Amino acid sequence: MTDVSPAAPPRPRPVLRAWMLVLPAVLFLAGFFVAPLIDNGNRSFLGEEGGFTLARYGELLSDRFYLGVIFETVALSAGVTLISR
């Protein structure tokens, strides 16, 4: 009698296997980070009636408080960049 063992199931290729491992993380990031980020960006350009507007950015750049915050952020990041070089 000859011993015939069943064939082993085919193994996924290494590239496919790597994508199978990465896919859940990519889907999670796309759903909970990228999609809301794009949605917020789109809504920032929409007015009350749904048309395109830059009013929110004009309001942001004309408010002294926000200008101060922007200036401090840029100054801090420039300082850290210069120190870390």
pLDDT digits (tens, 9 = 90+) for 34-44: 999 999 999 99
Cα 80 to chain center, whole Å? Answer: 24
Token readout for 40 is 């917020």
Whether the model pTM is above 0.75? no
Residue 50 pLDDT exceeds 70: yes
Residue 4 pLDDT exceeds 90: no
Residue 12 pLDDT exceeds 70: no
What residues contact residue 44 under an 8 Å CB cut-off, 6+ apart?
56, 57
Q: Residue 59: name the closest of 68, 67, 49 by CA.
A: 67
Boundaries of every domain in the chain: 13-44, 54-85
